Amino acid sequence: MNYIEIQTIYQANNLPDEQQIQGWVDAALQDYPSDTEIVVRIVDEQESAELNQQYRHKSGPTNILSFPVELPEGIELDLLGDLVICAPVIEKEALEQQKDLADHWAHIIIHGVLHLLGYDHLEDDEAELMESKEIAILNTLTIANPYQQDNNA
């Protein structure tokens, strides 16, 4: 089983619980060796914006930031990295895109875990590979293709 540490900085009634987050992380890591560790930090818009500016040089909050662990040579840990998720942005996006809030949380967490595993979407072919992986994982959770919903909105 994979280990997650959840740091809830932002409080709200509609946040996913630890079991849901664990299930989404496990689904994203289904083809990856078990016993990995991920920190999931749920934050407000201010912290998200500060980290987005500091690490991506982009202003404003974003839905998720992924920080893969970079260990010195010779140090081996099962830590994949940290996910910093801005709950207010997730809620706003779900409303705007007319998506179920829990389904959107699942998608964003899976997206973030794939970033920790080295997937990216800077180039079209990388984006296509990453999106197809996300869609396949979400399908195992009986969650609809989030990109198809975007096109219909």
Question: Are 48 and 65 spatial neighbours (Cβ–Cβ below 8 Å)?
Answer: yes
Here the CATH number for the domain that contains residue 107 is: 3.40.390.30
Of 28, 35, 117, nearest to 77 (Cα)? 35
How many domains does the chain divide into? 1
Joined tokens for residue 39: 């920190």
Considering the entire predicted model, what is its pTM?
0.91
Confidence (pLDDT) at 149: 55
Q: Provide the residue-wise pLDDT of the chain in tens; the chain has 153 residues.
A: 789 999 999 999 999 999 999 999 999 999 887 788 999 999 999 999 999 999 999 999 999 999 999 878 888 778 899 999 999 999 999 999 999 999 999 999 999 999 999 998 877 888 899 999 999 999 999 999 998 855 443
Supply φ then ψ for residue 46, to 5 degrees: -65, -50
> Which residues lie closer than 8 Å to 58 by C-beta, 6 or more apart?
52
List the domain range (segments joined by +) for residue 42: 3-152
SS3 content of the chain, % helix, strand, coil (to 5): 50, 15, 35
